[in-house]
Amino acid sequence: MNKFKAIVMKAKDNVATVTEDIEAGSDIAIQANGETVRLQVTNRIPFGHKVAIRDIAKDERIIKYGEVIGIATTDIMAGQHTHVHNLAGCRGRGDLAGK
């Protein structure tokens, strides 16, 4: 298993940013909240994209760098690529006020 191919910035983050292309089926380790989280990546994740570090339910907030960056549009499993295909941006959207 290769060490730390993704970055988690804040303890409340539920996604990590990958620091290199990660192929489907790869086992990776991520340092999160002082603990090592081990994941099997379920689909290819390009450099700079996000991987879920725990299961995220549909309509749950996606948190990166300690900030809400979107809302899950479907259930997202730990190790799954998290991007525009399964999250909707919510910043500056009055129609999502209170979510």
76: its two tokens: 């997202």
The answer to whether the beta carbons of residues 77 and 52 sit under 8 Å apart is yes
Predicted TM-score (pTM) of this structure: 0.86
Per residue in 33-82, pLDDT (tens digit) is 788 889 999 999 999 999 999 999 999 999 999 999 999 999 999 999 99
Residue-wise pLDDT tens digits, 3-18: 678 999 999 999 999 9
What residues contact 3, with CB distance under 8 A and at least 6 apart?
29
Residue that the structure tokens 């983050």 belong to? 13
65 φ/ψ sector (left φ>0, alpha ψ -120 to 50, else beta) = left
